């Protein structure tokens, strides 16, 4: 239960941070392109890389703190950061084909699932 609490608190922080950054970047750069989401994905992926490498080399926090930061804060800030970590893990294991397949299938199937849901619900609700 303690682990869930750490993740929940981190998730709240990450989600609020995502919202605030998207609003700020969109205000600065405009609404014509999803600059805010792009900024969140890039910043979150950078933060995940920095955090993972720091924990591998010089800092070994307990499992609750790891979950708070990785799953909670960064996972809620942008799931793209977790996606980036998964890809890098596969590449580090030498599983290049699996990493490529993961990237391609994640993008295609996720966007496809989004459009499928829209189509189903558009027809079901109208």
Q: What are the boundaries of each domain within the chain?
A: 2-79
From residue 37, alpha-carbon distances to 14, 24, 51, 69, 113 in Å are: 14, 11, 21, 20, 19
- pLDDT for position 81: 84
- pLDDT for position 75: 92
Q: Give the model confidence (pLDDT) of 8-54 as tens digits.
A: 999 999 999 999 999 999 999 999 888 998 899 899 989 999 999 99
- Mean pLDDT in residue range 72-84: 90
Please tell me the pTM assigned to this model: 0.80
Whole-angstrom Cα distance, residue 20 to residue 42?
A: 15
- Mean pLDDT in residue range 89-116: 94
């Amino acid at each position: 239960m303690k682990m869930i609490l750490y993740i929940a608190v981190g998730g709240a922080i990450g989600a609020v941070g995502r919202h605030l950054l998207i609003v700020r970047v969109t205000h600065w750069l405009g609404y014509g392109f999803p600059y805010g989401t792009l900024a969140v994905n890039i910043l979150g992926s950078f933060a995940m890389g920095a955090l993972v490498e720091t924990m591998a080399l010089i800092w070994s926090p307990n499992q609750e703190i790891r979950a708070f930061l990785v799953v909670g804060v960064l996972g809620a800030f942008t799931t793209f950061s977790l996606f980036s970590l998964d890809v890098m893990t596969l590449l580090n294991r030498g599983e290049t084909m699996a990493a490529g397949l993961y990237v391609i299938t994640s993008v295609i199937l996720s966007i496809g699932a989004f459009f499928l849901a829209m189509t189903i619900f558009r027809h079901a609700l109208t």
